[in-house]
Structure 1
Amino acid sequence: MKNTSVLIKPLLTEKTTLLKDVARQVVFYVHPKANKLEIRRSVEKAFDVKVEAVNVVRKGPSVRKRQGRVAGRKPGWKKAYVTLGSDEKIEFFEGV
């Protein structure tokens, strides 16, 4: 898998910004078939940082129900919690 197709987008919420400040972790939505090694390589190459660990969380697709009837499906997702090295940092909004 190519490095550019592994990382889909960063997840920016209150929880993830707190993790970035406290635990040096950055969260990304990643391709569902990407493994930890591919995620590590693509983050190191894209942002020029050293990655200590990668933890992955998967959520499968779910069925949307409306008044007892199936109205469709919500897509599943996969996200990766990337722990950076001791002196490393990724800034998404530089100069804003």
Structure 2
Amino acid sequence: MSWKFLNKKPLSNERKYQVILAPVITEKATMGSEHNQVTFKVAADATKPEIKAAVEGLFDVKVEGVNTLNTKGKVKRFRGRLGQRSGYKKAVVRLAEGQSIDVTTGL
């Protein structure tokens, strides 16, 4: 049994809104909705348990699993000079059967 999960503190409402930044609306992310998955842009310091607690608290759904990945910013040219876009962290949240989140409406 892991001791670090015994001392879990509930997330404050402020931290929930700091963890979940925005939904990701792409063709690949919307294909995940067929498999009860929703993709969010999250804070870089957010952990998987924090993301799970934030999604369950904000949207009143049951989360089965969370996968995270860091996307690196692309190198682009602007007027002949090199620049780099900012990278960000994404979370793919798998919901329980029968649960859904409508990302087109706001909170």
TM range (shorter): 0.7 to 0.9
| Cα contact 1:63–1:70 (8 A) shared by 2 | no
Report what 2:72 is aligned to: 60
Q: Do structure 1's residue 17 and structure 2's residue 30 form an aligned pair?
A: yes
Match of 1:42 among 51, 54, 58: 54
Unaligned runs of 5+ in 2: 1-10
Return the offset for 1:64: 3.8
Among all aligned residue pairs of Structure 1 and Structure 2, give the percentage whose two residues are the same amino acid. Answer: 36
Report what 1:28 is aligned to: 40
How many residues align? The count is 92
| Cα contact 1:11–1:29 (8 A) shared by 2 | yes
Report what 2:21 is aligned to: 8
TM-score, scaled relative to structure 1: 0.82
Report what 1:80 is aligned to: 91
TM-score, scaled relative to structure 2: 0.74
Unaligned runs of 5+ in 1: none
More strand by share: 1
- Cα 1:70–1:35 change in 2 (3 A) is farther
